Amino acid sequence: MTFQTWMKTSCLWLACVLATPVWADRVKDLATLAAQRPNQLIGFGLVVGLQGTGDDASVPFTTQSMKALLAQMGVRIDGPMSDFEQVTSASRIDIKNAAAVMVTADLPGFAKPGQRIDVNISAIGKASNLRGGNLVMTALRGVDGEIYALAQGALTATGIDAAAAGSKVAIGVPTAARIPGGAIVERTVDTPFEKSEHLILNLRDNDYSTSSAVVSAINAKFGGEVAQALDGTSISVRAPQDLNQRVTFMGMLENIEVTPSEPNARVVINSRTGTVVINRAVRVTAAAVSHGTISVAITATNEVSQPNALGQGQTTPVQNADIAVTEPNKPMFLFKPGVDLRDIVDAVNQIGASPSSLIAILEALKTSGSLRAELIII
């Protein structure tokens, strides 16, 4: 290879290395605007049209709500009645096709009147299934008691509950449902976006390194001291006063790419499902681990003790039991100082540890002080 060819090859390799994009996130993926926070809404309503799976007469608030609803529509069920009408008096109404429910929703920060939002419906009485029901118009209120949205529509329930001949099958939760776009916004929530001189960005995760990186990226984009870090979570940004310019400014700001710092070392364990998630920042100091389980198997055999033909004994059933104890011979493995995620996974896979065994090993490593990570059990 000539010197000129070697130089061309070296320059091409260097150009490829320098052109390799650096892993980065947009500001909109790392932080949210404080003025954009959602607000929770809640309401009490009635679901009708059920196939006999609703509440019964023993649920008083369902009957009271149905009476109030009918009264608003001019249907009178109280007052003097004939002998025939007394059979279906209010005190004996048995409404199995209706159910009392609690309706919840999240109102986005910049939601405007006329826009639709999703709602969640949950039974609070004795209803066994909300499938096929319709939610009657329900007012959704905020924490201040004001009405911000009205919900109504057909329920989407994915749960199934069927029983016949003593057998029962249940899939999902049939007493909870959802209505996509089931509520119409009636009132907006005042935000400081239009009036405040400074806008606040809140990082999704508290991190001083990432906060400093976001501030540096914003100031490098717009120049000057446009952004200032308030703490590890909040960043103050000076925005233009004109609303049109402010919207354009925020559109440019949220697409700025920032290289965040490495997240904190965490191990998340779900003991109910046996799920274990380990991020790549987890490290383990020098430790030796040996894990084995003891299994005990008891087998019962039913036999019959039959006496001799000339004997005086009686035929007697006898139960014999065999007990077997098994302890697998699993080797001990050694963690060297500073091993990373790949080494941990490889070592655990070598001994064939189950998810429950892996959870026990991680908890023991944390207790011994060898696991350099935050252990979160959910």
Question: pLDDT tens digits, residue range 186-197?
Answer: 998 888 888 888
331-361 pLDDT, tens digit per residue, is: 556 666 666 666 766 776 666 667 777 777 7
Better pLDDT: 50 or 351: 50
Residue 362: the pLDDT is 79
| Cβ contacts of 129 within 8 Å, gap of 6 or more | 50, 51, 53, 157, 159, 161, 174, 175
Task: Answer whether 45's CB lies under 8 Å from 135's CB.
Answer: yes
Beta-carbon count within 10 A of 9 CB: 11
What are the domain boundaries of the chain? Answer: 39-185, 192-258, 266-293+329-377
pLDDT at 325: 52
Question: What value does the mean pLDDT take over residues 97-123?
Answer: 93
> Angle, nearest 10°, between helix axes 243-253 and 208-222?
120
pLDDT at 59: 83
Distance from C-alpha of 314 to C-alpha of 289, rounded to nearest angstrom: 58
Q: Tell whether pTM > 0.75.
A: no
User: How is residue 203 written in tokens?
Assistant: 């990082």
Confidence band (pLDDT; 50, 70, 90) for 313? low
Higher-confidence residue of 370 and 236: namely 236
Query: Higher-confidence residue: 201 or 67?
Result: 201
Distance CA 362, CA 329 (A): 20
Give the pLDDT of residue 311. 63
Least confident span in 67-71, 151-155, 338-342: 338-342
Q: What is the DSSP secondary-structure string of 211-255?
A: HHHHHHHHHHHH-SS-EEE-SSSEEEEE--SSHHHHHHHHHHHTT
Domain 192-258 belongs in CATH node 3.40.1350? no
Torsion sign across C-alpha atoms 112, 113, 114, 117: positive
Q: What is the mean pLDDT of residues 128-134?
A: 88
pLDDT at 146: 93
The pair of three-digit structure tokens given for residue 71, joined into one six-digit string:
């009264």
| Residue 57 tokens, joined | 């007469």
How much is the pLDDT for 109? Answer: 85
- In this model, does residue 144 exceed pLDDT 70? yes
Query: Which tokens sit at 183?
Result: 């509520």
Number of Cβ atoms within 10 Å of the Cβ of 270: 14
